[in-house]
Amino acid sequence: MRYEGAVIRPPIEADSLILQVTYGCSNNTCDFCGTYLGKPFRVRPYAEVVEDIEGLPAWYKKECSRVFLADGDALVLPQRRLLELLSFLFAQLPSLERVTSYANAQNLLKKDVEQLRELREAGLTMVYLGLESGDEQTLAEMNKGVTVAQQIEACRKAKAAGIELSITCILGIAGVERSLIHGRATGEALSAIDPEYIGVLSLIIQEGTRIANRIRQGDLVLPDPLGMLRELREMIAAIDVTNGLFRSNHASNYLPIGGRLPQDKPRMLAALDAVLAHPEQARLRPEGWRAL
Ligand code: SF4
């Protein structure tokens, strides 16, 4: 398997076969994102993808049960190509159970529900989408390139097609001033989407990103760790989903919190309230230990 540049994948895909079908991200506008800086978006030649799959060792082909399509948004590929790829993967990998990928709202919106259903039936079981914020002003200031309503519509289409959703949001990106507004609005947007999985990260500034410049110039002031936990509390309090696994235990977070919503909401809020009431007793992750 050949890879070009840094390849990222969700932590839960650690054991999946990571297959690059595109390079970079077709959007690549988000101020906080340094993932694909210096890696212009390109579609990987399909013949190369096929060669890599065919070249896998026979024992691995037999055992491989999960594939993650990289890089940033494999769903940008035309429908016909995606269906061809999924069909080829299932033909080559007899134990394959699920194929997942990142997606952005833009490329989900370009497909109709019927096309998304076709992809689900062909084996695309889940997509990971960065909502980042449910606050319109924050999304616009971060140059996400879509509105909150478009994010919600895109996610609802995927859900209607039977594709599971894992949605990521970021604490801190609204700055101190809109921190609680961002927390609440994000909880409300998540409620409107009703995803199966919710992952919350805490902003880590990457050099070379536009947000790093804004912070340096004093244009954006980030909440401190306790401020981020207040924001998280506001978010969780506003989430009303039918059955969602909530995790904010990523290495970027100051405090691991997780549970199943709605039933674990009181426990998670109580844990945050205890830390906010007695921060001196809390064991927050030291700044230097945080990572992406
Ligand atoms: S956050 Fe996602 S959509 Fe935005 S530039 Fe990064 S990979 Fe692309």
Q: Among 74, 10, 69, which Cα is nearest to 42's? A: 74
Position 292 in a domain: no
User: Ligand 1 test: best mutation among 22, 25, 133, 210, most atoms within 8 Å of CB?
Assistant: 25
Strand bridging mode 244-247 / 258-261: antiparallel
Alpha carbons 144 and 126: distance in angstroms, whole number: 22
Report whether residue 25 contacts ligand 1, using a CB cutoff of 6 Å: yes
Report whether residue 130 contacts ligand 1, using a CB cutoff of 6 Å: yes
Give mean pLDDT, residues 279-292: 88
Task: Find the CATH number of the domain harbouring 212.
Answer: 3.20.20.70
- Sign for the CA dihedral angle at 172, 173, 179, 183 comes to negative
Residue 25 CA: nearest ligand 1 atom is 8
CA of 27 to the centre of ligand 1 (A): 6
Position 164 in a domain: yes
Position 5 in a domain: no
Strand bridging mode 164-171 / 42-43: unpaired
Alpha carbons 2 and 49: distance in angstroms, whole number: 9
CA of 25 to the centre of ligand 1 (A): 6
Range of the domain at 194: 11-282
User: Ligand 1 test: best mutation among 33, 36, 141, most atoms within 8 Å of CB?
Assistant: 33
Position 3 in a domain: no
Position 180 in a domain: yes
Q: What's the mean per-residue pLDDT of the chain?
A: 96
Task: Answer yes or no: is pLDDT of 248 > 90.
Answer: yes
What are residue 66's DSSP bridge partners?
98
Q: What confidence tier does 287 reach under pLDDT thresholds 50, 70, 90?
A: confident
Distance of CA 14 to the CA centre of its chain: 15
| CA nearest ligand 1 atom 8, residue | 28
User: Ligand 1 test: best mutation among 30, 108, 138, 168, most atoms within 8 Å of CB?
Assistant: 30
Write out pLDDT tens, residues 114-142: 999 999 999 999 999 999 999 999 999 99
| CA nearest ligand 1 atom 4, residue | 30
Give mean pLDDT, residues 86-113: 97
| CA nearest ligand 1 atom 6, residue | 33
Number of domains in the chain: 1
Position 115 in a domain: yes
Position 212 in a domain: yes
Task: Answer yes or no: is pLDDT of 3 > 90.
Answer: yes
Distance of CA 267 to the CA centre of its chain: 25
Tokens representing 17? 């076969």
Write out pLDDT tens, residues 160-189: 999 999 999 999 999 999 999 999 999 999
pTM: 0.95
Within 10 angstroms of residue 109's Cβ, the number of other Cβ atoms is 14
Strand bridging mode 98-103 / 66-70: parallel
Write out pLDDT tens, residues 30-86: 999 999 988 999 999 999 999 999 999 999 999 999 999 999 999 999 999 999 999
Position 288 in a domain: no
User: Residue 45, exposed/middle/buried by CB under 10 A (0-12, 13-18, 19+)?
Assistant: exposed
